[in-house]
Structure 1
């Protein structure tokens, strides 16, 4: 059997993208079944592109039991009579891999990986049942649109098509659930303002009248005009939002970040985080250029830089910001790399719509890695429990008791 690096990678990528034929899956099975840990070609899967897909597919370096699980589920995909593309296992949705979404959580001094099978049988049955009884689904596409006259539209339950008309601007819900504006000529005196807001456990996307695309994280809002008239485009945000700004050098785009800073752009992609229970307001530039203003201070960011504004520290610039970490929420992931328990808990509060209380001093835990955001709260709690975090659920309140 051909086992060159390129061929193995080709088979694996086709399997992950649901494009592998029955014969190709069987070839991949044969290779995985016979490869040894020392086989350099096996490391292509075990250490190479498998790691690149780990947040999506829930794997880190597999032990023997995990490999057997993979083989078992791969074999299920070959139980077909014809030779069309095989439907791959949906790793984050199978019961035996519900733990895979959280497999990257690493904890404490001398940190180590939490693998799929490690400790999952350690929880008492009564404790596991208790977690399931208090289970909470992950967040989703939820938002409220407040029109200029105060009318509120719940977007996640609204039908597709025209939602409202304001002056000469038509608000439309597209087939993909996003909100867009169809605008005919408006004068400066006709400016009407809308606000889109997401609750805890919600996120949403809007295309502004100029074509700028905005993604809102949970517990966030953006206020904008139904048409950009005049010499600039101005919006206001709170919470967290990612912008892909439509270029218009004749009309600069400005963002008022919760009254604490102003971001000036021409056409660029960037993320702002201004949650009021976080220590700093952060603006992270993905591409293009922005000016960040706070009081009488101004800094110009280059791609990959992040400006952090505290209550007393002015503007601090981080030259090599972790863009993957910053945009994890937009890409459907949590990234807990290098953060403490309280930071993790604040993210869980916003995404699962829970509240967290502490009895005593919170445990000193530093996390590494991350997990997908499409898992129920019970999966997260089970791993926290395995890492020594003691807690109890009281309705939608998580009480940490360490």
Structure 2
């Protein structure tokens, strides 16, 4: 059995195993007589592999506790990598799943100088209802004022305006077929994403747009004239269709303009953020601040920031993984302070954040998947000495 178990564990951790091999591994791990051998092999695998991420023991426990939904089933200690500050505990029935999860780096939480957590007497159970993660939610407002909730709307034709056909596709996108000769009236639609939602939009020229929670975009049902101009608040990622004769312009919350011909870029322009950030992934864009009319041209990998005073600066080595984390289904909290972490949670889980006695000074790092319930996130925060209580949809951060 040892050779079989070792082979299946290796295949599972490397993500090369077939469905049949994964099922065979699960069957072996459910057998009581496999505990000791499984623990030895897993410990050996951890010792032989260079870990992609290190985490404190308490944080590792918190992560696994959340994964297991704080289950009370027995756990098996599988050892600690020499010189490392992490500890892994694997329950028989989910051993392989946890190995895969940690090996792939799908969930990690790295706290800067964590201190032992103290009990507050409060927890996620105190919430009126545990908040589920956000999903595909949006509201479309037509030029005539009609509003259409897209969440549960069937695929197919949504509406027709000024010769354009508005479609909800099978991929869960909103798309436009201009369908006219370019001489009709120009009318505008607005797509609004509530907190706890996100949505994809294909603009009339084929430009692909991903909108994050609490964002909105206003655009014409057909692009006519010398430019393609839209208005954005919140956060969106764009893959713009190239058209050298018709630049694509984003009016960002009336505070900046981003001009492109064809490129991939992200704009974060939430009102509660300290700056408007435009990050270029591919192509070229020009960012202009509306206040001072300062203008900069970006190259891939750079980020332009316009602060609350209208000053424009450029970060020439932006963290693209962090910028694109939301689109890829991840929270990336690298070098983030507590307010930055909680602003993201507030938008995704549609909750209100209240600081009871000032803002605790903490810095975090690492990543967490965005498909977890809020209670799972809060357990990790509490393990990292962030104390709170809840009142309905309000998360109150305590001293």
Please, what TM-score do these two structures have when normalized by structure 1?
0.78
Task: Give the 3-state SS of the residue equivalent to 2:377 in structure 1.
Answer: helix
1:82 aligns with none
User: How far did residue 279 of structure 1 move?
Assistant: 1.1
Task: Give the 3-state SS of the residue equivalent to 1:204 in structure 2.
Answer: strand
1:73 aligns with 94
- Residues 294-341 of structure 1 show CA distances to partners (whole Å, capped at 9, x for unaligned) of 132110101110000013252110011001101111111111111111
| Pairing 1:50-69 to 2, within 5 Å after superposition | 64=78, 69=90
| Separation of aligned partners in 2, 1:63 and 1:228 | 62
- Asked if 1:177 corresponds to 2:172, the answer is yes
| Separation of aligned partners in 2, 1:210 and 1:8 | 48
Contact 1:284 1:307 in 2 (8 A): yes
- Answer 1 or 2: higher relative contact order, Cα 8 Å, separation at least 6: 2
Contact 2:275 2:308 in 1 (8 A): yes
1:392 aligns with 389
2:217 aligns with 222
| Pairing 1:83-98 to 2, within 5 Å after superposition | none
Contact 2:270 2:276 in 1 (8 A): yes
Contact 1:11 1:20 in 2 (8 A): no
1:255 aligns with 250
User: How far did residue 63 of structure 1 move?
Assistant: 6.8
User: How far did residue 249 of structure 1 move?
Assistant: 1.6
- Residues 34-56 of structure 1 show CA distances to partners (whole Å, capped at 9, x for unaligned) of 4475x6x64565615999xxxxx
Count matched residues: 362
User: How far did residue 71 of structure 1 move?
Assistant: 5.7
190, 195, 199: which one aligns with 2:190: 195
Task: Give the 3-state SS of the residue equivalent to 1:381 in structure 2.
Answer: helix
Range that drifts further, 381-390 or 264-273? 381-390
Cα 1:90–1:352, aligned 2, differ >3 Å: closer, same or farther? farther
Please, what TM-score do these two structures have when normalized by structure 2?
0.79
Gaps in structure 1 of 5+ consecutive residues: 52-57, 76-87, 113-117
Cα 1:33–1:106, aligned 2, differ >3 Å: closer, same or farther? closer
What is the root-mean-square deviation in Å for CA atoms of aligned residues?
3.6
1:380 aligns with 377
- Residues 360-399 of structure 1 show CA distances to partners (whole Å, capped at 9, x for unaligned) of 2111111111211111111122222222222221111112
Gaps in structure 2 of 5+ consecutive residues: 56-62, 65-75, 80-86
| Pairing 1:3-402 to 2, within 5 Å after superposition | 8=10, 12-15=14-17, 20=21, 33-35=39-41, 42=46, 47-48=51-52, 64=78, 69=90, 72-73=93-94, 104-108=108-112, 110-111=113-114, 127-128=122-123, 130-131=125-126, 133-187=128-182, 190-295=185-290, 296-312=293-309, 314-402=311-399
Cα 1:32–1:316, aligned 2, differ >3 Å: closer, same or farther? farther
